[in-house]
């Protein structure tokens, strides 16, 4: 995809990749800022929280994470 993000100086090719990884049976998602967020018990939880993270970044609230799901049921 040839595009230019707001902070980019030049147009460049950006590749989308799966942000969700499985490590030791738990799921994490990676961010553009090179952080690994998680753990989550399911891939669906990680994808949902990844979407929520993106919404927070877009609205300027990235430092206010939503409550993580409980692993205890």
What are 5-17's pLDDT values in tens digits?
677 777 766 556 6
10 Å Cβ neighbour count for 14?
13
User: 32-49 burial, b if ≥16 CB within 10 A, otherwise e?
Assistant: eeeeebbbbeeeebbbeb
Cα–Cα distance, 49 to 28 (Å, whole number): 10
pTM beyond cutoff 0.85? no
Q: What is the pLDDT of residue 20?
A: 94
**Per-residue pLDDT, 9:** 75
Instruction: List, in order, residues 6 or more apart from 2 with CB less than 8 Å away.
Output: 11, 12, 13
Domain extents for the chain?
Answer: 20-64
Instruction: For residue range 42-52, list pLDDT tens digits in order.
Output: 999 999 999 99
């Amino acid at each position: 995809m040839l595009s230019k993000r707001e902070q980019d100086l030049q147009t460049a090719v950006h590749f989308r990749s799966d942000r969700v990884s499985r490590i030791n049976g738990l799921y994490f998602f990676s961010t553009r800022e090179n952080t690994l967020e998680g753990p989550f018990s399911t891939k669906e939880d990680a994808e949902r929280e990844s979407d929520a993270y993106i919404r927070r970044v877009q609205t300027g609230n990235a430092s206010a994470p939503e409550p993580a799901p409980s692993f205890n049921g």
